[in-house]
């Protein structure tokens, strides 16, 4: 284990979450992972619903089978090639290419995301507002239904392709469009001013 990973393990803060009477319950365990696992097991044995061991300050990657990986794919050739093997001519209709397979892309399309803090696949939900320090803020976000982490989080965007796209569409693109519109209005005003001078 690297020095960074070893240090991160001791800095991680844990909590156990479950659902009771339609509300999310939380038990803070600080940096005591052993105590957090004990409480999680007790909650599971007690028949609690949606029991989750959650890291509060570190995002974890998905398991290997859900991570992007290079695979060899047969790609059709259009038009086919004529190749020589051992003095004979063959018609080659396909060739192997290395491509990046992203398993979470398909799951994201179905609305299922990897939550790096709950360390589980979750069906993220869309919300148009959230409460911060008792004040309701109007903002469209896609959030984990259990822990509330949104698509804006770096770790969520890193592992969920759709989160990166949504982050751009909801936050970056409108800003860029607004700045271009403002600049466009300035150019239109300058053109109109030049035209009035010529008249």
pLDDT tens string 41-56: 999 999 999 999 999 9
Q: What is the dihedral of CA 53, 24, 20, 120, to 10 degrees?
A: -40
In the chain, what are the domains?
1-58 (3.30.1490), 65-103 (no CATH)
Quote the CA–CA distance of 48 and 51 in Å, as a whole number.
6
**Rg, the chain, Cα only:** 26
Structure confidence at residue 174 (pLDDT): 54
Q: Which residue positions in the chain have pLDDT lower than 70?
A: 1-9, 171-182, 184, 195-199
Nearest alpha-carbon partner for 55 in 23, 8, 19:
8
| Predicted TM-score (pTM) of this structure | 0.70
Residue with structure tokens 């392709």? 161
Nearest alpha-carbon partner for 24 in 56, 49, 60:
49
Quote the CA–CA distance of 24 and 109 in Å, as a whole number.
27
Structure confidence at residue 140 (pLDDT): 80
Residues 6 or more apart whose CB falls under 8 angstroms from that of 27 comprise: 15, 16, 17, 39
Structure confidence at residue 4 (pLDDT): 45
């Amino acid at each position: 284990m690297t020095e960074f990973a070893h240090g991160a393990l001791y800095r991680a803060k844990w909590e156990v979450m479950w659902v009771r009477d339609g509300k999310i319950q939380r038990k803070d365990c600080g940096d005591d992972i052993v105590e957090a696992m004990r409480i999680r097991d007790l909650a599971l044995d007690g028949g609690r619903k949606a029991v989750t061991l959650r890291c509060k300050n570190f995002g974890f990657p998905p398991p290997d089978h859900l991570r992007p990986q290079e695979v060899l794919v047969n790609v059709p050739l259009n038009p086919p090639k004529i190749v020589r093997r051992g003095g004979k001519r063959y018609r080659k209709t396909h060739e192997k290419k290395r491509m990046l397979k992203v398993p979470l892309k398909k799951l994201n399309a179905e609305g299922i995301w990897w939550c790096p803090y709950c360390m589980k696949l979750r069906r993220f939900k869309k919300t148009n507002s959230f409460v911060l320090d008792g004040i309701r803020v109007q903002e469209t976000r896609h959030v984990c239904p259990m822990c509330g982490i949104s698509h804006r989080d770096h770790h969520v965007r890193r592992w969920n392709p759709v989160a990166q796209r949504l982050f751009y569409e909801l936050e970056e693109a409108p800003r860029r469009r607004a700045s271009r519109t403002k600049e466009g209005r300035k150019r239109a005003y300058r053109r109109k001013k030049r035209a009035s001078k010529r008249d």
